[in-house]
Structure 1
């Protein structure tokens, strides 16, 4: 009589042991996007690329999804591979000509160092919107070109 509960326990544990383990959630897939930055004002000064994927955080200090600092090392055109999750993104670029680790501005708050945006948006009286600068990451081999710099 004592054998029946033991057999049930063994069979139950075998059934539980053969259950499929629950896999952790997969990390979101990324695609490699090549960002080509050309017509640099300086071939020596750092280029800062701020990537945004949330319209409410676009161009807000410290709110970027990712930031890259790239030294041109004597080149006037840079080709930078970047892994981005699928979706809508926008890039704001600047070049720190005096190497003080910030985008210098005049008394009105207008940058005095070169800056540019994805889609080569050239704002006139106000900062551009995420909608104007956005591009969609949907597959491999995408190229985003930034070549139209705003310098005052």
Structure 2
């Protein structure tokens, strides 16, 4: 009986270790797109590459003002997400001549700088021992 209980306990520990190996999922949903036109482009950044080189990027269609992506198998750590509504599907964010954005944008934590682009400090979040779900508002 002791052997059976030991094997069961060992099996449970192994399964726990197996499920904790690898990365986590980050589900990101924009909840208030102003139209279903175009798509939402999402970028996942580390501090070192913030707004220069995304670690991962994805695009998603918009349905009923919502758009959702899942970044899969992301290692534990600190990250930030920036996204924008590419209304004209040209693959880049468009700006007026004075530098003001023509397309809506957002960042994780929904703390946008009214006088400039999002900062890493205001957008950062941590992934530890479980998956993360975020809602972003433009």
Partner residue of 1:66 out of 56, 65, 84: 56
Superposed, 1:74-93 pairs within 5 Å as: 74-83=63-72, 84-93=74-83
SS of 2:122 mapped into structure 1: helix
In the other structure, the counterpart of 2:12 is none
In the other structure, the counterpart of 1:57 is 49
Specify the structure having the higher radius of gyration (Cα).
1
Unaligned runs of 5+ in 1: 1-27
Contact 2:37 2:88 in 1 (8 A): no
Q: Could you list the runs of 4 or more consecutive aligned residues of structure 1 that deviate by over 3 angstroms after TM superposition?
A: none
Contact 2:60 2:68 in 1 (8 A): no
Partner residue of 1:30 out of 23, 29, 33: 23
Contact 1:33 1:140 in 2 (8 A): no
| Farther off after superposition, 114-123 or 101-110 | 101-110
Partner residue of 2:35 out of 34, 42, 61: 42
Residues 107-152 of structure 1 deviation map (CA, whole Å, 9 limit, x = unaligned) = 12221111111000121112232111001011223211102x1xxx
SS of 1:119 mapped into structure 2: helix
Matched, 1:140 2:130: yes
Unaligned runs of 5+ in 2: 1-20
**CA RMSD for the aligned pairs?**
1.6
- Matched residues, number: 117
Please give the TM-score of this superposition, normalised by the length of structure 1: 0.70
How far 1:94 sits from its partner (Å)?
A: 0.3
Name the structure where strand makes up a greater proportion of residues.
2
